[in-house]
């Protein structure tokens, strides 16, 4: 039965090529010409640069996080007694640039992004990303770019990797999260598929977090990723040369075995004087 034999042969060949033939990332990892396995193959479907203006902050807490002053008081037409309301934790709005040390090279977080909407590295102060932040001691905060490329994604956050097996960062996993432009997410929130520059550029839905930052007394910035079960841990930042971008990495050995070398990076705020 030649017809049956031919069908079986084609079926076996197809299963061997299928991405479902073995367990692994949901994305098919085909080597790009630039050697980058962490982003989708081919050119982005459109520019991640947004066409909309910054969304108007609706609360003073959000205005403070974005480095703005309080909103003007609203006029009240009724004469009912005012009820006491809790206030956001006081903080001091600070602006400046983010210095970066990676692979023994001093530089800055750049004000531009790669074609997938991921922030990278520059040695030029003129090309550095200017930011505003309002750090607090008791909760992670957001960082707002002041001269960044994304109007619709006005926060400096993280997006889960295209080649991840799930949204979690943990030991033994090669998962990662790239630094990109995002919308606002709440402190301690778990990963959620929300608008971000990577998805705008690639058309690939991924999860984000933006209220993840903390800063020590020396201005060194750290980021803590929250997993789906609510557990949170501060992870190291790495510069990934193949994509020219920064990423949070849960396990460097697992990451580098899958995607190649990356360089440990230290972020620190250089505040305006």
253 is a domain residue: yes
Q: What is the pLDDT of residues 126-157, one digit of tens each?
A: 999 999 999 988 899 999 999 999 999 999 99
d(CA 154, CA 271): 20
Q: Note the pLDDT of residue 22.
A: 31
38 is a domain residue: no
d(CA 232, CA 72): 36
> Which DSSP letter does residue 82 get?
P
216 is a domain residue: yes
Alpha-carbon distance values, 25 to 16, 20, 103 (Å):
16, 10, 29
Total Cβ atoms within 10 A of residue 228: 11
85 is a domain residue: no
140 is a domain residue: yes
Contact 232, 226 (CB under 8 A): yes
Total Cβ atoms within 10 A of residue 89: 13
pTM of the predicted protein model: 0.74
Contact 177, 248 (CB under 8 A): yes
d(CA 193, CA 11): 35
**């085909």: which residue's tokens?**
30
**Residue 116 neighbours by CB under 8 Å, 6+ apart:** 39, 40, 44, 48, 178, 197, 198, 201, 202, 243, 245
157 is a domain residue: yes
Q: What is the pLDDT of residues 13-22, one digit of tens each?
A: 333 333 323 3
Instruction: Tell me how many domains the chain contains.
Output: 1
Segment 83-93 mean pLDDT: 64
pLDDT bin (cut points 50, 70, 90) of residue 34 is low
> Which DSSP letter does residue 253 get?
H
User: Which range marks the domain in which residue 182 is found?
Assistant: 54-66+92-271
174 is a domain residue: yes
pLDDT bin (cut points 50, 70, 90) of residue 191 is very high
Q: Note the pLDDT of residue 136.
A: 86
250 is a domain residue: yes
């Amino acid at each position: 039965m030649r017809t049956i034999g031919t069908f079986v042969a084609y079926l076996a060949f197809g299963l061997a090529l299928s991405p479902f033939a073995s367990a692994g990332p949901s994305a098919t990892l085909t080597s790009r010409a630039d050697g980058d396995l962490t982003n989708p193959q081919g050119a982005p479907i459109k520019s991640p640069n947004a066409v909309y203006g910054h969304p108007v902050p609706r609360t003073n807490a959000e205005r403070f996080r974005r480095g703005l002053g309080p909103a003007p008081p609203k006029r009240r037409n009724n004469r009912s007694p005012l009820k006491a309301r809790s206030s956001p934790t006081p903080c001091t709005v600070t602006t400046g640039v983010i210095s970066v040390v990676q692979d023994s090279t001093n530089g800055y977080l750049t004000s531009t992004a790669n074609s997938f909407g991921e922030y990278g590295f520059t040695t030029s102060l003129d090309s550095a990303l200017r930011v505003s932040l309002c750090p607090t001691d008791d909760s992670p905060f957001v960082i707002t770019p002041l001269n960044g490329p994304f109007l619709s994604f006005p926060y400096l956050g993280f997006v889960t990797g295209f080649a991840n097996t799930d949204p979690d960062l943990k030991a033994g996993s090669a998962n990662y999260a790239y630094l990109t432009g995002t919308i606002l997410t709440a402190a301690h929130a778990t990963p959620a598929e929300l608008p971000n520059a990577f998805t705008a550029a690639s058309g690939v839905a991924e999860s984000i977090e933006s209220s993840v930052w903390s800063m020590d007394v020396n201005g060194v910035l750290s980021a803590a990723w929250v997993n789906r079960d609510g557990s949170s841990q501060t992870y190291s930042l790495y510069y990934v040369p193949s994509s020219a971008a920064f990423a949070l990495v849960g396990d460097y050995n697992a990451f580098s075995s899958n995607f190649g070398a990356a360089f440990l990076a230290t972020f620190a705020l250089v505040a305006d004087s």
